[in-house]
Amino acid sequence: MDKFQKDLAEFFEVCKGLQERKRHDYTGDNDPLYNYHISAALMGVSTPLGMLGRLQEKVVRVGLALRGGALEVADESVKDSLRDIAILASLIAVSTKEDVDNNTSS
């Protein structure tokens, strides 16, 4: 395995651990998407759309930082936001796999 593949594997391993810890804090032992279901219901959108909105917030934050904007939340780095993006994208993919796969054409 080359260095890039090792770095990528390490990134995803960190994301996995982070997701497990955040799941505990946000959902306890409930449904793993409990917090997203509640938030989406309050906004009047589907759970995947609510999750996508959260993902977009992180993308905008990273984009501003990459353009040279200063981040004022010192305890959340750009890499932290990128991890959150990877986690959210994975959660959306896993939770919507059947619906998305059935609604796409080849």
pLDDT in tens, 28-53: 877 889 999 999 999 999 999 999 99
pTM attached to this predicted model: 0.83
State pLDDT tens for residues 66-105: 999 888 998 999 999 999 999 999 999 998 876 555 555 4
Contact yes or no for 49/40 (Cβ under 8 A): yes
* Number of domains comprising the chain: 1
User: Residue 16 belongs to what domain range?
Assistant: 3-102
**What whole-number distance in Å separates Cα of residue 37 and Cα of residue 70?**
32
Is residue 57 within 8 Å of 50, Cβ to Cβ? no
The answer, yes or no, to whether residue 65 has pLDDT greater than 70, is yes
**pLDDT score of 30:** 79
The mean pLDDT value of the chain amounts to 89
